[in-house]
Amino acid sequence: GENVEQHPSTLSVQEGDSAVIKCTYSDSASNYFPWYKQELGKGPQLIIDIRSNVGEKKDQRIAVTLNKTAKHFSLHITETQPEDSAVYFCAASVYGNNRLAFGKGNQVVVIP
Amino acid sequence: GAVVSQHPSRVICKSGTSVKIECRSLDFQATTMFWYRQFPKQSLMLMATSNEGSKATYEQGVEKDKFLINHASLTLSTLTVTSAHPEDSSFYICSARLQTYEQYFGPGTRLTVT
């Protein structure tokens, strides 16, 4: 099955700086890659996703890039703010398949 | 984005009793919903896939007789933890899938079994 690895496990950044989280996946058939933000005690929130027919997608301060050849995708958060502090999970699946394979999560801490 | 609700948000029950958790898609119909379990500081563990009008598909190692899932309508799935024990204490989260395949998660239910 699909195996998703996420690095680094913890990331601390100064407010206003950028944060980048990278994930790698193993199954070349995977073609759907969502990112979720989870705040303490809450359910994960879908913040952005990308399908394999594009290499980059942006939504205001967040962007996701995909490198199908290398089988990795990254989340970029620019101009970080304290409210960006959370655990971020990447996931991968074959589009149309039910199962999402999740990474282990990345704790992002934005230092004011 | 699509909205998914869960009820209750927190529940405390005594060992040996059963607890039912509801998951609702509020502004869309979901033929497929999912139930996850999450331990502190860990990732999401898929327990089962719930399909409207049919039996749930359980992941390996998940006891289907202990975790009863019912997907009675296109907007409601329920998870019943039967004969709960302290080791069942956890954060249970459901998600619902759009026809375009995005999954949206509920806010989670914190179950504590005493």
Interval B48-69 mean pLDDT: 93
Q: What are phi and psi of A84, to 5 degrees?
A: -80, -10
**Interchain CB contact of B34 with A (< 8 Å):** yes
Check CB contact under 8 Å for B110 and A96.
no
Nearest residue to B49 (alpha-carbon basis) of B29, B71, B28: B71
**Chain A nearest C-alpha distance from B17 (Å):** 24
| pLDDT given for residue A80 in this prediction | 98
Question: What is the band of A99 on the pLDDT scale with cuts at 50, 70, 90?
Answer: confident
| pLDDT given for residue B62 in this prediction | 96
Check CB contact under 8 Å for A46 and B93.
no
* Residue A90 and residue A21 in contact, taking contact as beta carbons nearer than 8 Å: yes
Residue-wise pLDDT tens digits, A7-37? 878 999 999 999 999 999 999 999 999 999 9
Q: SS3 for B87?
A: helix
> Which residue of A9, A38, A50, A88 to mutate against B (max B Cβ within 10 Å)?
A38
Nearest residue to B76 (alpha-carbon basis) of B19, B35, B17, B18: B35
**Chain A nearest C-alpha distance from B42 (Å):** 7
pLDDT at A95 over 90: no
Of B43, B46, B108, the CB nearest to A99: B46
CA diameter of chain B = 41
Tokens matching residue A15? 């407010």
**Interchain CB contact of A104 with B (< 8 Å):** yes
Check CB contact under 8 Å for B93 and A95.
no
Tokens matching residue B7? 């009820």
DSSP A98: S
Pairing of strands B10-13, B109-113: parallel
pLDDT at A52 over 90: no
Report how far residue B68's alpha carbon sits from residue B46's, in angstroms, rounded to the nearest whole number. 14
Question: What is the band of B52 on the pLDDT scale with cuts at 50, 70, 90?
Answer: confident
| pLDDT given for residue A94 in this prediction | 83
The chain B residue lying nearest A103, using CA atoms, is: B43
Q: SS3 for A82?
A: helix
- DSSP, residue by residue, B4-48: EEEE-SEEEE-TT--EEEEEEESSS--SEEEEEEE-TT--EEEEE
Residues of B in contact with A105 (CB under 8 A): 42-43
**Interchain CB contact of A102 with B (< 8 Å):** yes
> Which residue of B103, B109, B112 to mutate against A (max A Cβ within 10 Å)?
B103
Average pLDDT, rounded, for chain A: 94
